[in-house]
Amino acid sequence: MVGHLDLDYFYAQVEELENPSLRDLPVLVCVYSGRTGDSGVVSTANYRARELGVRSGIPIAFAKKRLAGTEAAFIRVDREKYEGYSERVMEILRENVDLMEQTGIDEAFFEITKRSGGSFETGTEIASRIKAQILERERLTCSVGIAPTKISAKLASDFKKPDGLTVVRPSELASFMEPMPVEKLYGIGEKTAKALQGIDVVTIGDLARKDVPQLDDLFGQKMAVYLHSSANGEDDEPVQERGQATQISRIITLKRDSRNPEEILAQLAPALEDVHRKVTGEGLFFRSISVIGVLSDLSIRTRTKTLEAPTSDSSTLNRAASELLGALVSELGDLRRVGIKVADFEESKEQSSLSEFLR
């Protein structure tokens, strides 16, 4: 028995929760690029705003046009704040399940086969309890799906939103999935959906009725097998705990294109601090530091330095960033965006502190 949990209009819900006067307004959480007042994109919007045609990914200026004449709240994204809520929600989930696999800041798969003893009634109770605890402790609503496979659990959490709980028993699996458009299946984008339409496949049910050889010609063997099994609810991918991060990075857009290292470093400083805070917060030690430059044609160049011993030291990070940045601009000229990345983490604290000490 697999579940999928997804928080409702997550960033905007957190903003509403911290400032209840926003509740009746369209709320837009925005990533301002910092160039001009309105440049940037909408990260997410509450349901009020969505009714008015605003959604994730559209330019802020476009959203403003849509909402002209309506009182609305435009709020700057605060990723660290949402990460705090996310971590606490995931902790609540963890306490209630056998196994979980976080797949994004606001969502996770989980397995409750053991805890439910295979009973979907018990599974439903577990899901209700998880929702109630998240509401009580963090005051957030989420939508949960309980189903026999990962794919169907994700479809189920998406089925009723916000504050939904959808349970799909094995006997209901086919009738639940059949009417849905194929785009709802993970991994089917616009292109694949178009190609499927060419062979009269519009719904998951249509797809389920095609056999592998019929799909093979169009998509190749591997994809054909995936399409066939997922449409038939036969995906058997296990819920897998994820390891720790393999890299930590931040990227910023410069106020104007620049090749001046001091000017760039001044703007990069908060990103450097952010990366450092995250590294120490997770008790990590990194061995490689990279500076990423995005040019005005949006091409990307990276310079990396590998340290002799792993560290979590901020002055080492800052010094390397400054060196790498100097090298990058002297090679490339003006940059439009700049990023910092640390990787090659060392897990053992003892060993790393020892090597740091020896240095």
Query: What does the binding site for Ca ion look like in residue numbers (CB under 5 A)?
Result: 6-7, 10, 104, 106-107
How many residues touch ligand DCP under the rule CB under 6 A: the total is 14
Q: In this structure, what are the phi and psi dihedrals at residue 21, rounded to the nearest 5 degrees? A: -65, -10
Question: Locate tokens 């189903």: which residue?
Answer: 147
* Residue nearer to ligand DCP on the CB measure, 34 or 162: 162
Answer for which of 56, 124, 249, 322 binds ligand DCP (CB under 6 A) is 56
Rounded to a whole number of angstroms, the minimum distance from the CB of residue 346 to ligand DCP is 30
Residue 13 or 149: the one with the smaller Cβ distance to ligand DCP is 13
Which residue is associated with the tokens 């700057």? 76
Out of Ca ion, ligand DCP, none, what residue 161 binds, judged by CB under 5 to 8 A for its kind, is ligand DCP
Please, which of residues 158-187 interact with ligand DCP by CB under 6 A?
A: 161-162
Binder of ligand DCP out of 1, 5, 7, 328 (CB under 6 A): 7
- The CB-of-270 to ligand DCP minimum distance in angstroms stands at 19
Residue pointed to by tokens 């090679």:
331
Could you say which of 107, 125, 190, 263 is catalytic?
107
The window from 4-12, 239-247, 261-269, 331-339 that contacts ligand DCP (CB under 6 A) reads 4-12
Q: Is 159 left (phi over 0), alpha (psi -120 to 50) or beta?
A: alpha
Which of Ca ion, ligand DCP, none lies near 101, with the C-beta cut-off 5 to 8 A by kind? none
C-beta separation of 14 from 105 below 8 A: no
Radius of gyration over every alpha carbon of the chain, rounded to an integer in angstroms: 24
Span near ligand DCP by CB under 6 A; candidates 7-15, 235-243, 304-312, 339-347: 7-15
318 binding partner (options ligand DCP, Ca ion, none; Cβ < 5 to 8 Å by kind): none
Using alpha carbons, select from 5, 242, 209, 223 the residue that is nearest to residue 109. 5
Tokens of 48: 């009020």
Burial of 96: CB neighbours in 10 Å, binned 0-12, 13-18, 19+: middle
For residue 332, give the nearest of 343, 322, 324, 340 by alpha carbon. Answer: 324
11 is a contact residue toward ligand DCP (CB under 6 A): yes
Residue 327 has, within 13 A of its CA and on its CB side, a CA count of 14
Binding mask 83-122 for ligand DCP (x = CB under 6 A): ----------------------xx----------------
**Dihedral over Cα of 305, 306, 312, 315: its sign:** negative
Q: Which of 240, 236, 241, 242 is nearest to 148 (CA)?
A: 236
Q: Closest CB to Ca ion among 134 and 272?
A: 134
CB 4 to ligand DCP: min, Å: 11
Q: Among all chains, which residue has been given the structure tokens 């809520």? A: 85
Look at residue 38 and give its three-state secondary structure.
coil
Q: Please, what is the minimum distance in Å from the beta carbon of residue 287 to Ca ion?
A: 32
Whether 107 is catalytic: yes
**Does 43 contact ligand DCP by CB under 6 A?**
yes
Is the separation of the CB atoms in 329 and 240 below 8 Å?
no
Closer by beta carbon to Ca ion, 10 or else 285: 10
305 CB-side CA count, 13 A: 21
- Indicate the residue among 105 and 343 with the shorter CB distance to ligand DCP: 105
Interaction site with ligand DCP (CB under 6 A)? 6-11, 43-44, 56-57, 105-106, 161-162
Catalytic residues: 107
